Structure formats: C-alpha cells, structure tokens
Structure 1
Amino acid sequence: MKKIAVFCGSSNGAADIYREGAKSLGKELVRRNITLVYGGASVGIMGAVADSVLEAGGHVIGIIPSFLENREISHKNLSELIIVNSMHERKAKMTELGDGFIALPGRPGTLEEFFEMFTWAQLGLHNKPCGLLNINSFYDPLVSLFNHMSAEQFLHEKYRTMALVDTDPKGLLDQFSTYEPPTQKTYIIEEKQTR
C-alpha cells in the first residue's frame, strides 16, 4: 500500500484528542512509508494530519476545489497541491490516487466521502479497504447503525465487516495490510416460464 486517502474535518472538534489522533495517524503513515492523500486544507484535523506527515519527513498530496482554496485555507507547504474544479473532481482524484480510504472524525461531508467509497467497494467498483479511525469513540453510533442494518437484513454480514474499525492507527493499518475484499453481490432474476 503506497497511498492512503484520508477524509476528515476542517474543524478541530470539541477535544484535543481528535487532533492528537490525526497526528498519530500521520506519524504511522510515515513509519510505513505511505503517502497521505487528503483534502488539501491547512485547518482543523485536516491540517493536523498533513502537518504530522510533513514534520516526520513524509509525502503529502492535497486535493482541493478552487472555490474552497481560500475558504478552507489551502496548505502552502505540501509535497503536491492539486487544484480541481469541483467536489466531485476532488473525490474522483482521491479515489484514483488512494490505495485505501480512512475516515477521521468530521462533518456530513466526511461521511459522504466515506460512504461513496464503501458503496463502490460493495459494488465491486474497487477492491480497496475502507476504514474508520474511531478516535474518542466518535464512530460508535455509526458502527451500531451498521450492526442494525445487518440485523435487519439490509446489509449482508460480509459487507458489514468491510468497514474496518479501530481506535488506533497502527491497528487500522494492520487491518488494511491483510484486507481481502468479499465477493460481489449478484441478483438472480428468475424468468417466468411461458407456455
């Protein structure tokens, strides 16, 4: 695994533990010689994860839409900054570059990015791992929802377990290194026999 795309918030969150968790992920990426691909901002935990990779001597690729370049304050010290025209282009570029996807705590946009990658994996459009770094139990309600979806038979167990979850960056990246994608779902439609 050479590049990991990280989805996360441009806010710091309510407690320092979120920034510290983002920094820990950055350090672990560098330790494993993995490039960070992320949203290109210098603020919030987006900035924290990028800064930690850069401070440890790692490589960071930021991807930011032009309309957010000033609003999210694009990071000026990245290894590479790619400016795109839209949120769709940002996500498409992150999908193209990333060998796996991690969501740190964030807003609905973070969830939207994660869910699209998770859904595409379920549909077999890619075979890359998708994980939640569950800092400060942030994603516990989402994990409970996945379990509820499975219990109610809207999400097959083999797809529920595709959402890799850990509170520790090392544990999550260890799961990424051994990830085996499940077989894709197929729908068999029985044709009515006519006489």
Structure 2
Amino acid sequence: MCQQAHGLALPSWASPDVLRTLAQISALDIGAHVGPPRAAEKAQLTGGILLDAILANFSRAQRLGLPLKMVMYSAHDSTLLALQGALGLYDGHTPPYAACLGFEFRRRLGDPEQDAGNVTISLFYRNDSASRPLSLSLPGCPGPCPLGRFRQLTAQARPPIHGVPCHSSREPPALAAPVVPLLGGAVAVLAALSVGLGLLAWRPSCLHTWEDPV
C-alpha cells in the first residue's frame, strides 16, 4: 500500500488478483478483531482505550478552561481500525495511506453554560488526500451528536472506570468472602482429627496389642 501511494514499482508477484485476494483476507482478519462476536468486550481492550482518552482530554480542557484547540494522535492503520471498531464505523475496508479520523467538539453559540448538554460531537473521516473529509454519524445518533448521548452510546466500548476484568464474564463467580474462613476452619478440624487418630494408633500399648498372636 505504501509503495503504491509513493508511485513505486510493485513486486512481480503482486498482480491485481493477488492484491485483491490479500485485501479480502485482511478484511476477514480485521473483522474478527473488531467485529462480532463480543465486539464491545474486544473494543474495551483496543480502540475503546483511545476513544476514552479522546473524551477525557476534551473533558479536562473544558473543566480547566484550557486554551486547547486541537489534539493530534499519530497512529498506525491498525489503531485507526480499532477506533473505527469501537465506534461501530468499520466498513470492511482498510484505511488508506495517510487516512485520518477527526472528532470535532462544538458548543452552541449563545449558551452561557458549558456542560455536556450544550456540546456536540461531529465525526469526519479523510480517506483521500485529494478530497474533503467525509462526514460520519455514530450509529444511533445521526448528525452532530450531543456529548452526553455520545458517551452513552459508546459506554460499552470504553473501558469501565475500575478497569477491564482479566477473567471472562462467563467464568463462575468467586466464592463469597465469609465462605473462605469456614472452609479453612473445616480443613483445620479435619487435619487435627487426622493427627489425633494417628497418635492414638501408634501408642506403645496399641503396638503391643498388635504384636500378640491372633
């Protein structure tokens, strides 16, 4: 892809049919990473982290009144794909060379308050340097999306406040805390009984009895 973008000659094996097949294989691989099943859970470990950072940067600038106008991230195409997956905007195509995904935060003019209810987010995707960026819509919120609604729709794709759990949600829940001391006490009692019975069995009188002929 980079060679094509810079007008360099491709290897002899890179025929149109081979490139088309590779593109199809790549689309299947990407879809498995950012799409179903359990797309939201996968997004929490990939593109949802970057999405959460973008929203956090805006909230911080808004809360502290910083004169921040733009934040730029330099990333690989795989990072952009993960972000598209977290937003539910992956369309099966690999981002072209120098692609860009933009978030535009706007506050309605005339509103004295600067809370989330007055702020909207617009998404733009530039996949061709010779054309203007495309306007995108978050699924479930067409047009400029209110910030509160945007957060609500992307909550499942962003990491939870306390971090992503390392175990699967399908694993059985851990034993309740009060059960652990009870199990420990039961094991201790059984161990004490075993030791007591062992000492009783090996007393000299018992040995003398066992040595007598039957």
TM (norm. structure 2) is 0.27
Higher strand proportion: 1
Q: Which has the higher helix share?
A: 2
Higher RCO by CA contacts (8 Å cutoff, separation 6 or greater): 1
State the TM-score, normalized to the length of structure 1: 0.29
Structure showing greater radius of gyration is 2
